[in-house]
Amino acid sequence: MTHLLFQGVPGVTDLSGSLGTGKLSTVYCPLSTVADGDELHEECGVVAIHGHPDAARQAYLGLYALQHRGQESAGIATADGHHLANIKGMGLVSEIFTDEVLSKLPGRMAIGHTRYSTTGDSALLNAQPIRVESTKGLIAIAHNGNLVNLGTVRSKLERSGAYFQTTSDSEIIVQLIAHSRAGTLVDAIADSLSQVEGAFSSVMMTRDRIFAARDPRGFRPLSMGRIRNPEGPDTIIFASETCAFDLLRAEFVRDVLPGELVMVTEDGVTSRHYATGVQQSSCIFEHVYFARPDSKIYGRWVQQSRDQMGRQLARESGVPADVVVPVPDSGVTAALGYAEEAGLPFRLGLIRNHYVGRTFIQPEQRVRDFGVRLKLNPVRNLLEGKRVVLIDDSIIRGTTSRKIVRMVRGAGAKEVHLRISCPPTVSPCFYGVDTPSKRDLIAANKSIEEIRQFIEADSLAYLSLEGLLKACDGGEGNGFCVACYTGNYPTQWVDVEDILPAAATL
């Protein structure tokens, strides 16, 4: 039985409860445990729907397409002009939102969220959307990203009497809206967003309006789409990635711009820029790893960027070999580019088990012992006696990469050359990606040769920063955040503890 939280749902008292019978409770086990904590996690995916008779189901489909951005919890809030209902739960979108649950969410507007926690406890209360009764009326908010001046803003708000129900970033934004002296809601939202620093792509909903906003640096993606309706106003959609539009049969309209606040009402779409003159620093790691290859992010297809990363990698650090093998799934597109550029055969020499997820046997220790073998298995007849170029998108602690190299060698490969489709990750992310602190990042503490020895590869090379920027260049003058590869952060607020190298802690 999946545990759910109901808020404002017609005919249901606000409570934490459960629906359905005869099913086992979800046993929550974060993916990081399965992957030995050596995998980066996306923070969240958001979706918003305005003007659809079955908005809840549309939000469900949007979240379903964005499931890769967070598998810990999901929620949908709907509004029908009078009420604002919210249901959220722990687990996958499809586990939480059965037909029975969706039927309890009436209205022509919806916002939805799927989450992997980066700040705040991973509890049901912190799942989103967050629904709060404020001085400006009832409001629901769902947020992707990470605020970096959280502590300062929160203490300021608490001093002026704010009482927080959760530890999530979203509630900070809502409290700022509630405490704003601005006369109208849209002014209060703009006022609130201009006071927070960091990464946020947010969708908000009142009883009769939808808002979508991106932080002034545009760290996280957020796009607007529409479903044409010949008999009335179009349905307007916002989603973290354009792949959600495909499932909804919606057309892409444009990206929400950095520093832009868009409002959708019965009267149509209006927009304002609440912050200008800030250098754009969109997360380049969306192109490297997080976003789906079938999404268009910051005006460029992710598939195109990854293909170019692979080609550039082959040009920069090609090596005599027999076969190119990706570490699935995220290494696949870069490996295709590499193979084509190098004139080598591309082979799926590692098979990923897609059914390994959050729910797995306990106790945790047993899961750890399986390590990467739970997720990946080598195809011996493709690897035996071969010189293999293995393509992956990052090395975090190095432990998983070593297991994969050992696995490929164990399957009979004669040589294993690891190629990484981005530069060494030398500094943690403060903008919504769950990176370990600097002391745990292998590239922050070892040379490339030392890393090669550690992971036991015959050779190791990373894509250069110039090569990565070139591969992701959409030709639209995009500015990227590359702080995890350089340690140069686009905002002032970072946690000093987390950027100390291992040596400094001895």
The answer to whether 250 and 224 have CB atoms below 8 angstroms apart is: no
- How many CA within 13 A on the CB side of residue 482? 16
Only one of the segments 120-128, 202-210, 282-290, 380-388 lies at the binding site for ligand SF4 (rule: CB under 6 A); that segment is 282-290
Which member of 323, 433, 441, 451 binds ligand SF4 (CB under 6 A)? 433
Give the other-Cβ count within 10 Å of 477's Cβ.
8
Q: How far apart are the first and last CA of the chain?
A: 47
The answer to whether 75 and 87 have CB atoms below 8 angstroms apart is: yes
Which member of 101, 132, 188, 283 binds ligand SF4 (CB under 6 A)? 283
CB of 486 vs ligand SF4, minimal distance in Å: 9
Burial, 149: exposed, middle or buried (Cβ in 10 Å; 0-12, 13-18, 19+)?
Answer: middle
Q: HEC string of 374-418?
A: HCEEECHHHHCCCEEEEEECCCCCCHHHHHHHHHHHHCCCCEEEE
Which member of 168, 482, 491, 499 binds ligand SF4 (CB under 6 A)? 482
Give the other-Cβ count within 10 Å of 208's Cβ.
16
CB of 287 vs ligand SF4, minimal distance in Å: 10
Smaller CB distance to ligand SF4: residue 244 or 481? 481
483 touching ligand SF4, by CB under 6 A: yes
Segment 204 to 263, residues that bind ligand SF4, using CB under 6 A = 219
Which member of 97, 245, 285, 454 binds ligand SF4 (CB under 6 A)? 285
Indicate the DSSP class of residue 218. -
Backbone φ and ψ for 145, nearest 5 degrees, come out as 130, -165
389 touching ligand SF4, by CB under 6 A: no
Only one of the segments 8-16, 43-51, 401-409, 425-433 lies at the binding site for ligand SF4 (rule: CB under 6 A); that segment is 425-433
Total residues binding ligand SF4 (CB under 6 A): 11
The answer to whether 245 and 237 have CB atoms below 8 angstroms apart is: yes
CB of 484 vs ligand SF4, minimal distance in Å: 3
Smaller CB distance to ligand SF4: residue 341 or 434? 434
Which one from 44, 283, 481, 484 is the annotated catalytic residue?
Answer: 44
Instruction: Please state, in angstroms and rounded to a whole number, the distance separating the CA atoms of residues 39 and 426.
Output: 15
Only one of the segments 72-80, 223-231, 293-301, 427-435 lies at the binding site for ligand SF4 (rule: CB under 6 A); that segment is 427-435
Smaller CB distance to ligand SF4: residue 144 or 235? 144
Only one of the segments 161-169, 298-306, 478-486, 495-503 lies at the binding site for ligand SF4 (rule: CB under 6 A); that segment is 478-486
Only one of the segments 63-71, 183-191, 236-244, 281-289 lies at the binding site for ligand SF4 (rule: CB under 6 A); that segment is 281-289
44 is catalytic: yes
Give the other-Cβ count within 10 Å of 133's Cβ.
12
Binding mask 438-477 for ligand SF4 (x = CB under 6 A): ----------------------------------------
101 touching ligand SF4, by CB under 6 A: no
| Buried b / exposed e along 453-472 (16+ C-beta atoms within 10 A) | ebbebbbbbbbbeebbbebb
Smaller CB distance to ligand SF4: residue 84 or 441? 441
Residue positions counted in the chain:
506
Smaller CB distance to ligand SF4: residue 443 or 484? 484
284 touching ligand SF4, by CB under 6 A: yes
Smaller CB distance to ligand SF4: residue 102 or 288? 288
Tokens at residue 380, please? 């011996």
Q: What is the pairing mode between strands 376-378 and 350-352?
A: antiparallel
Binding mask 110-149 for ligand SF4 (x = CB under 6 A): ----------------------------------------
The answer to whether 200 and 282 have CB atoms below 8 angstroms apart is: no
CB of 289 vs ligand SF4, minimal distance in Å: 9
Which member of 431, 436, 463, 472 binds ligand SF4 (CB under 6 A)? 431
CB of 183 vs ligand SF4, minimal distance in Å: 35
484 touching ligand SF4, by CB under 6 A: yes
Smaller CB distance to ligand SF4: residue 341 or 392? 392
Smaller CB distance to ligand SF4: residue 147 or 484? 484
Instruction: Please state, in angstroms and rounded to a whole number, the distance separating the CA atoms of residues 243 and 10.
Output: 32
429 touching ligand SF4, by CB under 6 A: yes
Segment 46 to 65, residues that bind ligand SF4, using CB under 6 A = none
Question: How far out from the chain centre does Cα 123 lie?
Answer: 18
Instruction: Please state, in angstroms and rounded to a whole number, the distance separating the CA atoms of residues 495 and 437.
Output: 9
Put the strands of the sheet holding 109-115 in their side by side order: 15-18, 3-7, 84-90, 73-79, 109-115, 44-50, 235-239, 223-227, 251-255
Q: Return the residue matching tokens 């601005």.
A: 182
Smaller CB distance to ligand SF4: residue 260 or 286? 286
The answer to whether 210 and 203 have CB atoms below 8 angstroms apart is: yes
Instruction: Please state, in angstroms and rounded to a whole number, the distance separating the CA atoms of residues 220 and 471.
Output: 19
The answer to whether 91 and 80 have CB atoms below 8 angstroms apart is: no
- Give residues in contact with ligand SF4 (CB under 6 A): 219, 283-285, 429, 431, 433, 481-484
The catalytic site residues sit at 44
